[in-house]
Structure 1
Amino acid sequence: MILIDRFLSDEQDPKAVERVLGKLNDMLSTNEELIYMAVQKKPAVNLLPDCIAVSNKRIFYCEPVNFGITMNFKDISWKSIKEVSFKEEFFGSKFICVPQHGENIITEYIPKVQARKLYQAAYEQLESFREQQRLNEMEERRSSASPVTVNAVAEEPAVINEPPAYTPPAYIPPAPAPVEEAEDETTLKLRKLKTLYDKHLITQDEYDAKKADILASL
């Protein structure tokens, strides 16, 4: 038996909730649980409000007919729902269910607080259903994947190669060291002059003048 108190937390009409729960209790399938219920509240006369109930398997639309004597129930499973949304207006909110096929299902005059919680419950259940679908599809793909067959390969006997007999390398005489030619006196003077300039012991002008003198003596 479903307890009515948990569905009256946001000022839902008690009579409407009691009437709908009495019917839904017989319609729930195995392991199905009602999560939230919103009751329509029209701005003028609210004698026969529509109700929307969310379970872990579907959304129920409950509409009183014949002056409230009987009820029409329509349901849509999460598999058939593309998305849900709500839109706040001056008089309450609209709750919108977009099915995979067909026209949108719009219910008006849902109190704003109830519309927010109805949307939250429906969105969470829709996402939970989609996640479970993804997991099931991944499991099916893993199950249907063909197993990899590993063919046994006969081991060939190992061949032991003995190392070749040692042969000493042939003697190669070292290459003669290059003979450096002695620098002439002019080259030595120019090198010393450059060293003095690099160490900043003479100026550029002194370096150029001395270099010219050395080269003129050739």
Structure 2
Amino acid sequence: MISIDRFLSDEQDPKAVEKVIGKLNDLLTIGEEILYLAVQKKPAVNLLPDSIAITNKRIFYCEPGNLGLTMNFKDISLKNIKEVSFKEELFGSKFICVPQTGENIVTEFIPKTQARKSYQAANEQLEIYKETLHQQKIEENKVADAPVIEPIQSFADFAPIEAPSPEPEPIQIAEVVEEPEDEATLKLRKLKTLYDKHLITQEEYEAKKANILDSL
């Protein structure tokens, strides 16, 4: 249960605050909290005052019904609010909420201090909401303008390129030019052949070889 003590700092009607807080406690969403509560103070009879509750997500308008036996709640979220303001008059102030579309929501006979603090709380939350939207758009633009980075391909993504086989070098065949043998060489060759075939002795071979060489 929410403690009502901190909502009585500006002479709010304790009975009205207790009734409103008891009902609002079941309407708040996760992460939502009541920041300020203003209660109407009518100049004549103030038995069933309306209340305005400012949270960090919306503004609640609380109106008693059936002679105070029931409570009617209307709310407007921050995203649907264009601006808030208040206007001081002879009997209290008017708290004015200007929605993005539709007519202004006006609550009269709000004590001047409560109207001013309601305005401060609501306006502060509106500024926070607008700044959050602004930052979101900046981040979205950064993402949209970011260059597309192609994935880095590894060596495994590429098929191996085979180096062309070197062409075999042509085999150069040296042309053998046979020089004609002279007569002495022929005689020596024939003499050696006779000796190798053992047709002449070594003494004969040596003697004939000497004769041929002497004739040169």
Provide the secondary structure at the position in 2 that maps to 1:120: helix
1:15 matches 2:30: no
Which deviations, in whole Å up to 9, do the C-alpha atoms of 1:88-133 show, x marking residues without a partner? 0000000000000000000000000101101000110110110011
Q: Report the aligned-residue RMSD.
A: 1.6
Matches within 5 A, 1:57-206: 57-149=57-149
Looking at structure 1, the residues matched to 106 and 127 of structure 2 have their Cα atoms a distance apart, in angstroms, of 20
Which deviations, in whole Å up to 9, do the C-alpha atoms of 1:3-56 show, x marking residues without a partner? 100000000000000000000000000000100000000000000000000000
Given the two structures, how large is their TM-score scaled by the length of structure 2?
0.68
Looking at structure 2, the residues matched to 131 and 108 of structure 1 have their Cα atoms a distance apart, in angstroms, of 30
Looking at structure 1, the residues matched to 149 and 7 of structure 2 have their Cα atoms a distance apart, in angstroms, of 58
Which deviations, in whole Å up to 9, do the C-alpha atoms of 1:127-150 show, x marking residues without a partner? 011001111111112223342458
Counterpart AA for 2:40: Q
Provide the secondary structure at the position in 2 that maps to 1:132: helix
1:24 matches 2:24: yes
Residue in 2 that maps onto 1:207: none
Provide the secondary structure at the position in 2 that maps to 1:29: coil
Counterpart AA for 2:42: K
Provide the secondary structure at the position in 1 that maps to 2:20: helix
Residue in 2 that maps onto 1:56: 56
Counterpart AA for 1:68: G
Amino-acid identity (%): 71
Looking at structure 1, the residues matched to 30 and 141 of structure 2 have their Cα atoms a distance apart, in angstroms, of 28
Which deviations, in whole Å up to 9, do the C-alpha atoms of 1:55-97 show, x marking residues without a partner? 0000000000100000110000000000000000000000000
Q: What is the aligned residue count?
A: 152
Looking at structure 1, the residues matched to 56 and 81 of structure 2 have their Cα atoms a distance apart, in angstroms, of 13
Counterpart AA for 1:82: K
Given the two structures, how large is their TM-score scaled by the length of structure 1?
0.67
Which deviations, in whole Å up to 9, do the C-alpha atoms of 1:151-182 show, x marking residues without a partner? x9xxxxxxxxxxxxxxxxxxxxxxxxxxxxxx
Residue in 1 that maps onto 2:203: none
Q: Which runs of 5+ in 1 are unaligned?
A: 153-218
Runs of 4+ in structure 1 off by over 4 angstroms are none
Counterpart AA for 1:10: D
Residue in 2 that maps onto 1:2: 2
Residue in 2 that maps onto 1:174: none
Counterpart AA for 2:129: F
Looking at structure 1, the residues matched to 140 and 29 of structure 2 have their Cα atoms a distance apart, in angstroms, of 26
Looking at structure 2, the residues matched to 94 and 115 of structure 1 have their Cα atoms a distance apart, in angstroms, of 7
Looking at structure 2, the residues matched to 133 and 58 of structure 1 have their Cα atoms a distance apart, in angstroms, of 16
Counterpart AA for 1:16: A
Provide the secondary structure at the position in 1 that maps to 2:108: strand
